[in-house]
Chains A and B, each alone.
Chain A
Amino acid sequence: MHVHELNPKKSIITLSIFFIIIVVGFITLKTPWLTYKQVPEQTLRMISEKGNCLYPYELASFVAGTDDNIMLIDIRDKFTYSRGHIPGAINISAYDLTRKEEIKQLKEFKDKGVSVVLYGDNQLQANGPWMLFRQIGYDNVKVLAGGYDYYKMHKDNLADTESDDSYFKGTADFDYAKVAGSTVSTSTTTSTDTKKPVKVRRKKKKAAASGGC
């Protein structure tokens, strides 16, 4: 005969202790402060969708102060922000983006249905933070096409930039194959050409070149 059968009260106590331990375990289960809401596959699909960018011409009404559906966040540092920013934009440096207060603020915007638009000097600067927010579930976050640099150049004629496409990213500016000549497939056939460059290589080994766009 089992002990439990002899003493029903005892088994109820055991059972409830067992239950409490499990419940406590679930409650204290460490949930990280920020979690991904998108799996990488979703993110991958998301970045090729339309509507991730806010275009400069859409800024006109925001700058005029008549658009409550957009909130601009300048992710550059305080100093750069103080030297010039889009009117009405608030400054949250990229370093501080995942602080609790900022996330809370972001959540308020999301609940109110306000689109949050991130911008840096160029689109690239805001690209990473934008992708991060999308991944942690803030679908209302967008990125400003062209960034501050483009805005600065066109701030007096924002409405006219609708037909301009120079801020579109991801397109080829050249017919590479034509401009650059050699291609991957011909790399084997141009073996005679590559003899010449070998010379150049030796001489420049120590020249460190840097710089960029």
Chain B
Amino acid sequence: MNKNYIILTALMIVLAGGLLVVPERQKYQQIGPDELLWEIIQPTRYVSTDKVAQLIIEGDPSLELVDVRPTADYEKFSLPKSINIPLDSLLQESYQDYLGIDGMKVLFFSNDDIKADQAWVLAKRLGYDNIYVMKGGLNCWIRTIIQPKKPSTDSPSTEFALYDFRKGAQMYFTGAKTETSEKSSNKKAVKIQRKKKKTAASGGC
């Protein structure tokens, strides 16, 4: 028979076999390591608990809160309107629809910020945009929003403005509980809030 054709066929088969050695095509679309590092070193992904509280209170419709703690913890307590995607099932197919929604800001949070940040790095590698991390996590949330500390009397006015905001947020998030216990201080807080409409407050835990 035709020897050349046999050789040619054999060559083709060998080359086709070579495709098996070529690394398997990733099932995800992902960004390269260089780009990922660039994204990682940007601190813009961190959102303070005060900002988160403000967004929740304002009812920002584009905010999607994602609790990456285990489901058991989520069921005990979480932020209002948050959804639960446990970190270890972040890559599951069924959760991907929650991450890549156009125009939605996805905010990861956990007990502190390490797990949330890890979720962020993974999601970033998969090319998701508009993802953020709540700085300090729920620990910071409790310290700043649920149990705000009164600044010392010699603190700058911005500290007091921030404290007033947090006091108001505390009322919002804890409901009637504080209202009954601190009726007088509540009134005061509301009054002061009017004055600070224009001030940008800062501070931290």
Contact = CB atoms under 8 A, between A and B. Distances in A.
A106 to B, nearest CB: 13
Interface residues of A, number: 70
B93 to A, nearest CB: 12
B112 A180 contact: no
B4 interface: yes
Contacts, number: 224
A61 interface: no
Contacts of B142: 173-174, 176, 179-180
Q: How extensive is the interface on chain B, given as a class?
A: 35 or more
A181 interface: yes
B36 to A, nearest CB: 6
Interface in B168-197: 168-169, 171-177, 179, 190, 193-194, 196-197
B113 interface: yes
Given A207-B201, A208-B200, A170 B48 contact: no
A203 B186 CA distance: 13
Contacts of B28: 40
A47 B122 CA distance: 11
B85 interface: no
Contacts of B75: 183-185
A36 B197 contact: no
Contacts of A39: 26
B117 A180 contact: no
A212 B33 contact: no
A132 B121 contact: yes
A172 B41 contact: no
A132 B114 contact: no
A2 B193 contact: no
Given A97-B37, A211-B48, A181 B201 contact: no
Nearest to A131: B121
A20 interface: no
B161 A179 contact: no
Contact of B111 (A36, A98, A135, A171): A171
Interface of A, helix, strand, loop or mixed by DSSP: helix
A174 B91 contact: no
Nearest to B159: A211
A183 B146 CA distance: 13
Nearest to A198: B172
B33 A172 contact: no
Contact of B57 (A15, A35, A95, A204): A204
Given A5-B4, A43-B122, A213-B204, A34 B33 contact: yes
B114 A210 contact: no
Contact of B161 (A177, A183, A207): A207
B54 A200 contact: no
B156 interface: no
Interface stretch (A62-70, A107-115, A188-196): A188-196
Contacts of A196: 171, 175-176, 179
B2 A174 contact: no
Given A15-B11, A132-B37, 12 more contacts: A4-B4, A15-B7, A34-B32, A36-B125, A124-B114, A128-B37, A184-B82, A200-B169, A204-B193, A206-B197, A211-B203, A213-B204
5 contacts: A15-B4, A32-B33, A41-B91, A170-B112, A200-B168
